[in-house]
Structure 1
Amino acid sequence: MAYIVSLTKLMTIFLILICFPSMLLSQSFRSLQLPPNATGPESIAFESGPITGRFYVGVADGRILQYNGPRDGFRDFGFTGPNRSKRVCDGTTGLGPICGRPLGLAFHYSSNKLYICDRYLGLMVLGSAGKQATQVSAAADGQPCKAVDVHQLTGNVLFTDFGFLRDPRNASNALNTNDSKGRLLMYEPSTDRVTVLMKNLSGPAGVAVSQDGTYALVSNFISNNTIRFWLRGPRANTYDSINFQERPDDIKRTVLGDFWRAAATVKQQTQSLVPVGQRMNGFGRVYRTVNFEPWYENQLISEVQEFGGELYVGSRFTTFVGVYRF
């Protein structure tokens, strides 16, 4: 009798999910709403340790927000603009040169420092107290900074820049002309020196250092490819192209040593772009793709990061951080 009841319950659940698939989708995705008037959570950085789940996001008006769990939500933690005024800047999107615009974020865990790539102010850093970020480098030659990652053992900071980010109005022209002014750079805190590792990159939107520190993956948003730049070993200072994919954005390493990359696929019927997250290894092999179209439609996402069995999704077009359980 119990077996028949259990079978009946299973059939009921199956029929509900078949008839109402949106219920299944809603169970796998939730939104962490930003504070009022905050938009564009481009990148996400978790604190060290899997217990607290505390993380940080940069938003379009120049603030760094700290997320403290579902009960407390987001709070102001820091900001990048040296002359930033909350009265003038909070909730704005067009005052980047004054208010700042944080893009990539990455923690160095042993020093508890949060490195920030700002569109207008270059590479910056925040201590554990937050508030005003300090400029580390104007991204060498004053170019804006897009993506950042930290090699945890050495503390060296890898970051990317490309010039058209300073004026977003030039973005469409850069895409059409295959702009190749981007660079991969490295900041060494021990010497306070910035070194240019690569030039002539086409919109380097993401960077991630391998677990052993022998190479870094760099995604080129304009040329639609991801390259592997060798930092150490017999192939040091050389690179190879390992993957081609539409609009690859930021890359984040997982605790297992592979990577999640934000990207897009092309919908054949309409030729529109579909936002996806892709899990890939250091050879460029993609072995899992998650389609985020049900929640983002045709708006691109900028980052996918794994934490606690879930994917945290950033996008410059939303007012929330997406969380996908897989």
Structure 2
Amino acid sequence: MKSVVSMISLILLLSFSSAVFSDDASSFQNLTVPGQRTGPEAFAFDSTGNGFYTGVSGGKILKYLPGKGFADYGYITVSSKSKWCDGVLGTTHIGKCGRPAGIAFNDKTGELYVADAPLGLHVIPRGGGLAKKIADSVNGKPFLFLDGLDVDPTTGVVYFTSFSSKFSPGDVLKAVASNDASGKLFKYDPSKKVVTVLMEGLSGSAGCAVSSDGSFVLVSQFTKSNIKRYWIKGPKAGSSEDFTNSISNPDNIKRIGSSGNFWVASVVNSATGPTYPSAVKVSSDGKVLKRILVTDKFGNTLVSEVNEFKGSLYIGTLFGTFVGILKL
């Protein structure tokens, strides 16, 4: 039954407007992405603290600087640079253009790591440009649907997830409806240049986030409305446990600096009413500290990430045309 509710929720979300607003409209700003691109799904902030980076449909990574606006920063493929990957074409030809999902910087090297949904793990060199493919498979099994990504701030090791190992991005509704549990958590060690599987049997592993001290990584299970904790260090290293079941349909997870807390993009299901996307703040022990509804006056949209930076929440969507910025 839960899978049916989740599927209905997704269908409802996709049918509504692409706008994203908070209940306090005066504290909200939107920045439209250029080039007929859509879906600024996730964000990254470099060590300079100026502006932000986001991946959009058609395989581009955009950089935004206040006062200057958006500029092209990186490309997943050579085709991603062309108008051939703009608009609907970029979505239709996702296998040729790419579709950046999770992104994160290694602050020590300036490299930007990208989990591209159909095309695999990539890295964009310091300063931007064409991405280098790191891996599109592991142990002879191709990645079909990568999603979340984070870089350990203490070691530079990259953690990333696959939403499913059976379904492609275009079949996400089928994955949810069938209770697919073929998602995985991966680790890429740049010093060894090796990808390894850390967890299997995950139900819609959409996002991941490493703790500020590098002791554990959180992994969301969208379909099960659950977040797991995988221990990297300490006496529990190599084991996993439930972190929280209090967040409905969690997508991307982002740590909040060195506070020990995290923001989670969530779709809150209601059996008797509408479905509301929200930003949920949780502590390092899984306790919900705050919920902020993220809605618009016409309906709802699928919020993919909420990322705190300099007193504001940056709100991403899978299908919208702009980045939402909410002052806290």
**Shorter-chain TM-score: what band?**
0.7 to 0.9
User: Does 2:307 match 1:305?
Assistant: yes
The farther-off stretch of 239-248 and 292-301 is 292-301
Partners of 1:56 and 1:295 lie apart in 2 by 28
Decide whether the 8 Å contact of 1:104 with 1:147 is kept in 2: yes
Decide whether the 8 Å contact of 1:104 with 1:148 is kept in 2: yes
Question: Relative contact order, CA 8 A, sep 6+: which one is greater?
Answer: 2
Partners of 1:260 and 1:24 lie apart in 2 by 18
Q: CA deviation at 1:23?
A: 12
Match of 2:132 in 1: 134
Q: CA deviation at 1:269?
A: 4.1
Match of 2:114 in 1: 116
Question: In structure 2, which of residues 258, 261, 272 is the aligned counterpart of residue 258 of structure 1?
Answer: 261
Decide whether the 8 Å contact of 2:280 with 2:291 is kept in 1: yes
Gaps of 5+ in 2: 1-20
User: Does 2:60 match 1:67?
Assistant: no
Match of 1:3 in 2: none
> C-alpha root-mean-square deviation of aligned residues, in Å?
2.0
Go from structure 1 to structure 2 and tell me whether the alpha carbon gap of 1:317 and 1:164 turns closer, same or farther (over 3 Å shift).
Answer: farther
Match of 1:154 in 2: 155
User: Does 2:97 match 1:99?
Assistant: yes
Go from structure 1 to structure 2 and tell me whether the alpha carbon gap of 1:85 and 1:24 turns closer, same or farther (over 3 Å shift).
Answer: closer
Decide whether the 8 Å contact of 2:150 with 2:210 is kept in 1: yes
Match of 1:5 in 2: none
User: Does 2:83 match 1:81?
Assistant: no
Q: Percent identity?
A: 38
Partners of 2:82 and 2:182 lie apart in 1 by 34
Letter in 1 for 2:191: S
Go from structure 1 to structure 2 and tell me whether the alpha carbon gap of 1:166 and 1:42 turns closer, same or farther (over 3 Å shift).
Answer: farther
Decide whether the 8 Å contact of 2:75 with 2:81 is kept in 1: no
Give deviations 1:86-110, integer Å, cap 9, x for gaps. 0311223211001111000001001
Count of equivalent residues:
301
Partners of 1:96 and 1:37 lie apart in 2 by 15
Letter in 2 for 1:261: V
Partners of 2:270 and 2:142 lie apart in 1 by 38
Decide whether the 8 Å contact of 2:61 with 2:73 is kept in 1: yes
Which protein has the larger Cα radius of gyration, Structure 1 or Structure 2?
1
The farther-off stretch of 180-189 and 289-298 is 289-298
Decide whether the 8 Å contact of 2:303 with 2:316 is kept in 1: yes
The farther-off stretch of 76-85 and 99-108 is 76-85
Give deviations 1:154-205, integer Å, cap 9, x for gaps. 1100011133686334222211221011111100000101111111111110
Q: CA deviation at 1:246?
A: 1.6
Partners of 1:151 and 1:295 lie apart in 2 by 38
User: Does 2:59 match 1:58?
Assistant: no
The farther-off stretch of 54-63 and 82-91 is 82-91
Decide whether the 8 Å contact of 1:119 with 1:166 is kept in 2: no
Q: How does 1:278-289 map to 2 (within 5 A)?
A: 278-289=280-291
TM-score normalised by structure 2 residue count: 0.87
Decide whether the 8 Å contact of 1:119 with 1:165 is kept in 2: no
Q: CA deviation at 1:25?
A: 2.2
Decide whether the 8 Å contact of 2:165 with 2:183 is kept in 1: no
TM-score normalised by structure 1 residue count: 0.87
The farther-off stretch of 287-296 and 228-237 is 287-296
Gaps of 5+ in 1: 1-21
Q: Which runs of 4+ in 1 moved over 6 A?
A: none
